[in-house]
Amino acid sequence: MKTPAPLRASTRREFIASAAAATALAATRPARGAATPADGDIDAHSHVWTPDTGRYPRAAAFATKQAPEPRSFTPEELFAHCRPAGVTRVVLIQMSFYQYDNRYMLDAIAAHPGVFRGVAVVDENGPRLSDTLRRLARGGVTGIRLYADRERAESWAGSAGMEALWHAATDQGLALCPLAHPEALPAIDRMIARFPRPRIVIDHCARIGARTPVNDADLDRLCALARFEHVHVKTSAFYALGAKAAPYTDLGPMIRRLRDAFGAPRLMWASDCPFQVQKGHTYAASIALIRDRLDFLSADDKAWMLRKTAEKVYFS
């Protein structure tokens, strides 16, 4: 959930074929006879990265910073958590320290047909933005991540690059996925009102409850977005919200209010791995909150939140 500092970078190399990398990633494909991807649930938000910084270097702004923890979280390491939980498809979110170099995510998508879709990070001020989005879409990208603290979100209205990105994403049918703080929601609301067509996915319940207790004022701002029929919300990153402790049932009232405002067909569960599987937290505990612990969720609600909404937004 960390938000990086803005950085300009070339995107050319992310589209250069990497046969050796694809071969290595293909080694993590499920064995013959395993369940097909469509048989299970969908995790709408996970990151992957490799310790191979020679082939996939971190962006310059992150090169001198402390190495990420864990040092490695490859597709194979992700599968070790998600498959025992009945999750067979995953939406990969570009890791912040790769910035605009989406190659590792694209190579993972290519190595596992039908398993992954991607949410990329792009430079809205870079050259040939529409061409960049088209190439990413051909590689399995179905969404674009937007970093949306209050200052950045409020700058969107006067940004030619951001306006071009919203238009180009709409033309390509790509979802726009803000990683937002609650105080950014009014500015996001105004931007959505200007662009009524692209699908919007708000990450991690807009991080309500991450820095302060869950409160009605923040929820009011988020639920106000329900009037836009193309806005969706990820109920995710439970390790970082509210009490920040399993079984996470203290988040039930917030999830119930979101279900009542948006309807389950516009909510999707996600883990936010690998952060969900560190410091004593587990993948199983995250999915169990939606699958087993909230008695106000109907079987149909669970079907939407655990599979059908993410399938509609990212895999259709």
The CATH number assigned to the domain holding 44 equals: 3.20.20.140
Q: Which conformational region is residue 139 in: left (phi greater than 0), alpha (psi within -120 to 50 degrees), or beta?
A: alpha
pLDDT of 2 above 80: no
Within a domain: 19: no
Mean pLDDT of the chain: 91
Residue with tokens 């933005």: 129
pLDDT at position 32, please? 34
Q: Please tell me whether residue 88 adopts helix, strand or coil conformation.
A: strand
Confidence of residue 271 (pLDDT cuts 50, 70, 90): very high
CA angle at 235 for the pair 311 and 266, rounded to the nearest 5°:
45
Within a domain: 15: no
pLDDT at position 10, please? 43
Domain of residue 126: give its range. Answer: 40-315
Within a domain: 268: yes
Within a domain: 311: yes
pLDDT at position 27, please? 40
CB 220 within 8 A of CB 259: no
Token couple for 303:
């079907």
pLDDT at position 38, please? 81
Q: Which conformational region is residue 205 in: left (phi greater than 0), alpha (psi within -120 to 50 degrees), or beta?
A: left
Within a domain: 145: yes
Within a domain: 218: yes
pLDDT at position 66, please? 82
How many angstroms separate the CA atoms of 144 and 147, rounded?
10
Within a domain: 73: yes
CB 144 within 8 A of CB 176: yes
pLDDT at position 16, please? 41
| Secondary-structure percent of the chain, ordered helix, strand, coil, rounded to 5 | 50, 15, 35
Q: Which conformational region is residue 181 in: left (phi greater than 0), alpha (psi within -120 to 50 degrees), or beta?
A: beta
Confidence of residue 62 (pLDDT cuts 50, 70, 90): confident
Q: What is the mean pLDDT of residues 104-113?
A: 98
pTM for the predicted model, two decimal places:
0.89
pLDDT, one tens digit per residue, over 116-133 is: 999 999 999 999 999 999
pLDDT of 159 above 90: yes
- Say how many C-beta atoms besides its own lie within 10 A of residue 133's C-beta: 21
* Number of domains into which the chain is organized: 1
Confidence of residue 35 (pLDDT cuts 50, 70, 90): low
pLDDT at position 281, please? 98
Give the whole-number percent of the chain exceeding pLDDT 90: 84
How many angstroms separate the CA atoms of 204 and 133, rounded?
24
- Angstrom CA distances, 239 to 87, 227, 275, stand at 19, 29, 8
How many angstroms separate the CA atoms of 145 and 93, rounded?
8
- Angstrom CA distances, 165 to 98, 130, 144, 198, 259, stand at 20, 8, 9, 11, 30
Within a domain: 222: yes
Phi first, then psi, for residue 100 (nearest 5°) are: -90, 0
How many angstroms separate the CA atoms of 246 and 263, rounded?
25
